[in-house]
């Protein structure tokens, strides 16, 4: 007994002098849970796409196929429908959401029901004269009232508005996944193309352009966007193109000058799968949802290190085409769109959920080295001349 006590005491002393590395110093012990799951209505799955905060500890979520906005209490999972958007029986895809901090309204991106052609540079659906409803809508969450903000019918040549970011002054940034550019409008809807940088479109670097054959793998450009806390940068993720499971997704950073104009974009990170969610935390950490691989990465503000904070394959997290992200009270909330299952006719197998990810760790201290993006020095291959079609009715936004 005395010998056992002596050995135990020596072991404790060794541990105190030479402590083992704690999990917090390596891969973080993250926690995930499913907050809420949406059902199937008349055969249509309620898959969530966009997500934002409600300014009072709750969340707003867009249902991609049902064209509805819901409020969700992340603590209890309670959910309630806020609005049908755009309403009036219009059908299409309800995508990105963002809350306007100046008045509490919601900005929602909507793509009208029409054929989407991602494999020809002309994008015929961009030129459809019958589509007057594609655009961004402003929603009053208290009354459910929906008003057009900028639409094709109002003279703005949006093709496929996907994600939205709003600054503290109510300026609205909108990504256009088919045109491969970012629009900017003031609170009243005046504006136009803000950044048409080649990194936002289809180039060799985004994995969507095959220079050897001189043809595209797919004309897919910038998907999600998010502002830095100081509003000095806008971060954007490229979708990476069809089948671009690894290596084709880009994390792009666009400076915002003092006059509100866009600076030259730089390639912040590369080597990832296709992106469908970007968020920037209060400390400047950038979160990137790789929807092809069902991974969520955290990048240090300087881009030198990255940390995997959630993963279906590596951690067993309940992710299903990890899509939009929002940061709330120290946790990330992620929508599970299940897009690939929808394309395979497996709607019932989609998770249709919102997942909470907490204990995220610090990529600056715990992350791995991130090498400089491939082809960073090489000039991006220009997009084809027809890459940004102009609506046949409008040469420039009319208001």
User: In DSSP terms, which residues pair with 307 in a beta bridge?
Assistant: 298
Distances (CA, A) of 147 to 22, 50, 274: 53, 18, 32
Question: What average pLDDT does this structure show over 238-255?
Answer: 71
Instruction: Confirm whether 176 is domain-assigned.
Output: yes
Q: What is the pLDDT of residue 371?
A: 77
Between 60-74, 269-283, 315-329, the lowest mean confidence (pLDDT) is in: 269-283
Using CA atoms, how far apart are residues 344 and 2, in angstroms rounded to an integer?
68
Model confidence at 28: pLDDT above 60: no
Would you place residue 213 in the very low, low, confident or very high pLDDT band (cuts 50, 70, 90)? Answer: low
- DSSP conformational letter for 135: E
Using CA atoms, how far apart are residues 77 and 332, in angstroms rounded to an integer?
15
Q: What is the pLDDT of residues 290-340, one digit of tens each?
A: 988 899 999 999 999 999 999 999 999 999 999 999 999 999 999 999 888
What tokens were used for 340?
């690939």
Instruction: Confirm whether 226 is domain-assigned.
Output: yes
Q: What is the pLDDT of residue 374?
A: 53
- Assign 348 to helix, strand or coil: helix
Domain count, the chain: 1
Q: What is the pLDDT of residue 23?
A: 33
Q: What is the pLDDT of residue 378?
A: 41
Residue 97, CA atoms < 13 Å, CB-side half-sphere: 37
Q: What is the pLDDT of residue 68?
A: 96
Q: What is the pLDDT of residue 129?
A: 85
Instruction: Confirm whether 319 is domain-assigned.
Output: yes
Q: What is the pLDDT of residue 208?
A: 66
Peptide bond into 86 cis (omega under 30): yes
User: In DSSP terms, which residues pair with 183 in a beta bridge?
Assistant: 174, 193
Would you place residue 393 in the very low, low, confident or very high pLDDT band (cuts 50, 70, 90)? Answer: very low
Q: What is the pLDDT of residue 17?
A: 32
Percent over 70 (pLDDT), the chain: 78
Using CA atoms, how far apart are residues 211 and 208, in angstroms rounded to an integer?
10
Using CA atoms, how far apart are residues 70 and 49, in angstroms rounded to an integer?
11
Instruction: Confirm whether 105 is domain-assigned.
Output: yes
What tokens were used for 41?
């209505």
Give every CB contact of residue 338 below 8 A, 6+ residues apart in sequence. Answer: 45, 47, 320, 321, 347, 349, 350, 351, 352
Residue spans of alpha helices (H) in the chain: 2-17, 312-315, 339-343, 363-366
- Token match 């904070």: residue? 309
Model confidence at 381: pLDDT above 60: no
CATH number of the CATH domain containing 380: 2.120.10.30
Instruction: Confirm whether 392 is domain-assigned.
Output: no
Range of the domain at 163: 29-384
Would you place residue 220 in the very low, low, confident or very high pLDDT band (cuts 50, 70, 90)? Answer: confident
Between 28-32, 116-120, 185-189, the lowest mean confidence (pLDDT) is in: 116-120
Higher pLDDT, 127 or 224: 224
Q: Mean pLDDT: which of 12-26, 201-215, 263-277 is highest?
A: 263-277
Using CA atoms, how far apart are residues 397 and 150, in angstroms rounded to an integer?
9
Instruction: Confirm whether 101 is domain-assigned.
Output: yes
- Token match 């009232």: residue? 145
Q: Which H helix or E strand runs over 277?
A: strand 275-280
Question: What average pLDDT does this structure show over 140-148?
Answer: 95
Question: What average pLDDT does this structure show over 154-178?
Answer: 94
Q: What is the pLDDT of residue 90?
A: 87
- DSSP conformational letter for 11: H
- Token match 């993250």: residue? 30
Q: Mean pLDDT: which of 78-92, 105-119, 339-353 is highest?
A: 78-92
Cβ atoms of residues 311 and 271 within 8 Å:
no
Would you place residue 370 in the very low, low, confident or very high pLDDT band (cuts 50, 70, 90)? Answer: confident
Question: What average pLDDT does this structure show over 369-391?
Answer: 52
Question: What average pLDDT does this structure show over 56-77?
Answer: 95
Q: What is the pLDDT of residue 122?
A: 72
Q: Mean pLDDT: which of 43-52, 112-121, 126-135, 381-390 is highest?
A: 43-52
Instruction: Confirm whether 273 is domain-assigned.
Output: yes
Would you place residue 344 in the very low, low, confident or very high pLDDT band (cuts 50, 70, 90)? Answer: confident
Cβ atoms of residues 337 and 351 within 8 Å:
no
Instruction: Confirm whether 133 is domain-assigned.
Output: yes
Model confidence at 13: pLDDT above 80: no
Q: What is the pLDDT of residue 149?
A: 97
- Assign 217 to helix, strand or coil: coil
What tokens were used for 343?
């394309």
**For the chain, how long is the longest CA-to-CA vector?**
92
Please calculate the CA angle 324-329-330 and round it to the nearest 5 degrees. Answer: 80
Average pLDDT, the chain: 83
């Amino acid at each position: 007994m005395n010998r056992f006590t002596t050995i135990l005491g020596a072991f404790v002393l060794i541990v105190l002098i030479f402590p083992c590395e704690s999990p917090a110093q390596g891969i973080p012990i993250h926690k995930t849970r499913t907050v809420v799951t949406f059902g199937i209505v008349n055969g249509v799955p309620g898959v969530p796409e966009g997500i934002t905060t409600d300014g009072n500890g709750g969340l707003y979520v867009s249902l991609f196929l049902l064209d509805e906005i819901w409020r969700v209490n992340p603590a209890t999972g309670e959910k309630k429908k806020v609005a049908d958007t755009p309403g009036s029986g219009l059908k299409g895809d309800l995508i990105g959401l963002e809350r306007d901090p100046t008045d509490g309204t919601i900005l929602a991106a909507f793509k009208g029901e029409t054929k989407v052609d991602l494999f020809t540079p002309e994008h015929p659906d961009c030129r459809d004269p019958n589509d007057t409803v594609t655009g961004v809508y402003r929603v009053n969450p208290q009354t459910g009232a929906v008003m057009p903000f900028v639409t094709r019918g109002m003279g703005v040549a949006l093709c496929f508005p996907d994600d939205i970011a709003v600054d503290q002054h109510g300026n609205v940034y909108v990504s256009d996944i088919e045109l491969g550019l970012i629009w900017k409008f003031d609170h009243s809807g005046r504006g136009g193309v803000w950044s048409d940088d080649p990194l936002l479109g289809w180039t060799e670097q985004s994995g969507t352009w095959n220079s050897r054959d001189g043809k595209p793998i797919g004309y897919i450009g910038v998907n999600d966007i998010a502002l830095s806390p100081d509003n000095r940068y806008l971060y954007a993720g490229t979708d990476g193109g069809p089948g671009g499971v690894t290596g084709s997704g880009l994390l792009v950073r666009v400076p915002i000058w003092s006059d509100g104009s866009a600076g030259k974009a730089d390639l912040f990170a590369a080597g990832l799968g296709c992106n469908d969610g970007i968020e920037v935390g209060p400390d400047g950490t950038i979160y990137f949802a790789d929807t092809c691989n069902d991974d969520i990465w955290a990048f240090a503000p300087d881009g030198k290190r990255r940390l995997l904070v959630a993963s279906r394959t590596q951690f067993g997290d309940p992710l299903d085409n990890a899509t939009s992200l929002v940061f709330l009270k120290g946790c990330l909330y992620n929508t599970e769109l299940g897009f690939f299952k929808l394309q395979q006719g497996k709607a019932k197998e989609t998770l249709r959920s919102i997942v909470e990810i907490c204990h995220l760790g610090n990529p600056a201290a715990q992350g791995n080295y991130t090498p400089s993006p491939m082809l960073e020095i090489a000039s991006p291959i220009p997009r084809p001349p027809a890459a940004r079609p102009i609506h046949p009715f409008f040469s420039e936004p009319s208001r």
